[in-house]
Structure 1
């Protein structure tokens, strides 16, 4: 035998910071922002490097034109003039065989530092000038000066790329962490402020119990998702409060209704037992049987309403000929007190549970015959678009307009003394409404043209 006691889930206390929505949103936003800023910096770096390269190349091309124009009568100035745009630029003029024809001042006396092989587009570094650092940008161009082909090679140790690299490093090491901290702090504060109403809603919902469903969560008064959540929660609480109220009233009314026939049976039997020799036992038995039948009917109706609350009234679906069903109900509900006439239309098919639909029509018809003076008319009709209807009209006193919705509530009797005498529990129309709703239809009450009440049941037509 299992002797272990029941296990209880420990109610969590304050959530760890790593598990809160606020922390997760801040972390995700910080990571996304870091990736975006880093990607932006990389793109900016590539653009800056490309711009620095284009600037250096343009300056070297201008310098080549300047050198080409400095030759006078085929003689090159010694040294070559300095660049007007880049003071650090160096240049050499080479003969087709690679001999140096002219150089800038710092390269005088040196062999070719770079060569431009035939068919090549970029100069190639030579072994000459081992003391010179590698240039950042090198450009070579072929020209013809005074009828002689020459190669002009320019290069520069420009610091533009170095400055770009230093700027990018500062941004990456200083700017990104600063931006990340600022963004995470901002997101933390904004998300915390945005979720503050949610926390208030959570605390209020935690304090609400089934014993008191009248409380409502605080609404922030905004038209955003949190405002919609608060309004939805309040609507749900209102529905739960209404449902709980109906349930309490239903239990109270059911207890009262069940107590009446039980009390009648007990009283009848106690009277008989008090005088066992002289009591009219056949009459006592008939009274007890009548009350027990009433009790059985009431229990069946309560069970049916319980099934409707559990959405089990429509257990099976099948095509039902509404005209034939109404005719069967009329035939088995004949009463000598009033006449029941039928106006039937053919081809009024619905999809639903035959027994439930029969109970619905029977309940409404019983209610009509109970209050009619002389005549009840049952009509089966087409109601476009795609609907069929059953209208049951009586010539009784009718139902006041302000009471027409209330008569479909459970245990409602407009004439309590007469209903108790007739044995009605006040559940017939409530059950009829539940069945109609379960079949996708509706039921409504209007005035009868000849006085009395007219109850119309509308159901969707069965599609072929």
Structure 2
């Protein structure tokens, strides 16, 4: 930023001082032209009134170099300063009575000479009148003026570079502090945040955004640690039970009923397989693994899942037609199966499923007539490996991941899954309805 700003300002300054020099030079020469035209006019009046010879009077002290030249190029009259000098080496003006100005070097004169020439008709014929002024001041001060302008450009450019560099360094100081604070944050310092500087500007907005990101990372780390702890605990129990059963059986192998031992081991293996399967599903959902989505009729799918196998209690399904969502069919099957299994586990005599469209959403309600979920536990039932006392009593082999997976599936499809008031447990699934298919497709 400093280099770019300095280059831009440097170019602008160079252009500016060049224009200034040209303006000053133009002003000086315009003034010389005005005075030169007056000086040559005075001499031209003399030529028109007669044919002057000898010394010409000087009216303007600066325009002291005066000459009158005939058609043959001979000097017939001049001022004292030009006495004895040859005619000025200036082209004869092409149009009479029209002054022409030019700058030239005159031998014997230290500075350049500004000459105004005019062709005049007098009694003796055409005469060329020259009036010249040495450009002493401009010539003498030209080098100093150019050097002063160059020095001003260099000093101004250096000042701009210092100001911009200081301003940028000061503006980026909070960013350097944030960089240092972020570098100090390690895996064990997830609760730390960066300092939000004053005043409110883009840098403070950046700091707040960084803090929001750190908060999300902290939440992910906390959930990951809790998940690892829960997984290790849940996997340890069936593994320990399986190992204990096998060790006891091997202590007295001749006294064991090995088919019973195998059946018990198979039960523990099934439980382990269920936990691992659920964990893989959770891992894919958490990682956001993309899944192919299609148009799925939730009402039809809910009725099919309810009738797919015989359950402990009857399941009533009341589903409207055309409750279509864009979803992964396998995920929807898993979600509905989890809700139906949970309702069957806690129902006393009936499970009721309804599917309808409300305000652009597909709403599926799975309710049972069991003991219900206490208000304080309606969010906890969606925690990983969290099982209420009644659930553990009714099904000791469950993993405690069914409702967790169901909510994650709902959220991955842009929907929600909550527990609500009701006579028993009442779980409400909401998903966005699929847009109507375009005509011709």
1:368 alignment counterpart: 343
CA deviation profile, 1:116-152 (whole Å, cap 9, x unmatched): 243598568999x743467443332345567965443
1:166 alignment counterpart: 144
Q: 2:213 aligns with which of 224, 228, 236?
A: 236
CA deviation profile, 1:214-268 (whole Å, cap 9, x unmatched): 2222332333333233223322222222111111100111111112223333444
CA deviation profile, 1:13-35 (whole Å, cap 9, x unmatched): xxxxxxxxxxxx44444444433
In the alignment, the residues of structure 2 paired with residue 140 and residue 420 of structure 1 have an alpha-carbon distance, to the nearest angstrom, of 122
Report the CA distance between 1:363 and its aligned residue. Answer: 1.8
| DSSP 3-state at the match of 1:205 | helix
In the alignment, the residues of structure 2 paired with residue 124 and residue 175 of structure 1 have an alpha-carbon distance, to the nearest angstrom, of 31
| DSSP 3-state at the match of 2:296 | strand
In the alignment, the residues of structure 2 paired with residue 280 and residue 28 of structure 1 have an alpha-carbon distance, to the nearest angstrom, of 87
1:104 alignment counterpart: 79
1:22 alignment counterpart: none
Q: 2:279 aligns with which of 280, 288, 302?
A: 302
Matched, 1:457 2:430: yes
CA deviation profile, 1:286-317 (whole Å, cap 9, x unmatched): 444333222211110011111222222x3333
| DSSP 3-state at the match of 1:379 | strand
In the alignment, the residues of structure 2 paired with residue 448 and residue 190 of structure 1 have an alpha-carbon distance, to the nearest angstrom, of 61
| DSSP 3-state at the match of 2:384 | coil
Q: Which moved more, 1:289-298 or 1:401-410?
A: 401-410
TM-score using structure 2 length = 0.82
In the alignment, the residues of structure 2 paired with residue 398 and residue 140 of structure 1 have an alpha-carbon distance, to the nearest angstrom, of 116
In the alignment, the residues of structure 2 paired with residue 462 and residue 294 of structure 1 have an alpha-carbon distance, to the nearest angstrom, of 41
Equivalent runs, 1:25-104 vs 2, <5 Å? 25-69=1-45, 73-74=49-50, 76=52, 79-84=55-60, 87-95=62-70, 98-104=73-79
2:333 alignment counterpart: 358
Is the CA contact 1:138–1:153 (under 8 Å) kept in the aligned structure 2?
yes
| DSSP 3-state at the match of 2:194 | coil
In the alignment, the residues of structure 2 paired with residue 65 and residue 373 of structure 1 have an alpha-carbon distance, to the nearest angstrom, of 126
What 5-or-longer segments of structure 1 have no aligned partner? Answer: 1-24
Matched, 1:381 2:349: no
Is the CA contact 2:54–2:76 (under 8 Å) kept in the aligned structure 1?
no
In the alignment, the residues of structure 1 paired with residue 67 and residue 185 of structure 2 have an alpha-carbon distance, to the nearest angstrom, of 90
In the alignment, the residues of structure 2 paired with residue 393 and residue 447 of structure 1 have an alpha-carbon distance, to the nearest angstrom, of 10
In the alignment, the residues of structure 1 paired with residue 351 and residue 56 of structure 2 have an alpha-carbon distance, to the nearest angstrom, of 124
1:155 alignment counterpart: 132
Q: 1:184 aligns with which of 142, 161, 185?
A: 161
Equivalent runs, 1:238-277 vs 2, <5 Å? 238-269=215-246
Report the CA distance between 1:335 and its aligned residue. Answer: 1.8
Matched, 1:337 2:313: yes
Q: 1:435 aligns with which of 387, 404, 409?
A: 409
In the alignment, the residues of structure 2 paired with residue 363 and residue 445 of structure 1 have an alpha-carbon distance, to the nearest angstrom, of 14
* Residues 1:155 and 1:72: Cα distance change in structure 2 (over 3 Å): closer
Matched, 1:392 2:369: no
| DSSP 3-state at the match of 1:336 | coil
* Residues 1:135 and 1:126: Cα distance change in structure 2 (over 3 Å): closer
1:409 alignment counterpart: 383
Is the CA contact 1:100–1:112 (under 8 Å) kept in the aligned structure 2?
yes
1:13 alignment counterpart: none
Matched, 1:447 2:420: yes
| DSSP 3-state at the match of 1:213 | coil
* Residues 1:118 and 1:181: Cα distance change in structure 2 (over 3 Å): closer
Matched, 1:220 2:183: no
Report the CA distance between 1:424 and its aligned residue. Answer: 2.9
Q: 1:207 aligns with which of 184, 204, 212?
A: 184
| DSSP 3-state at the match of 2:172 | helix
TM-score using structure 1 length = 0.79
1:18 alignment counterpart: none
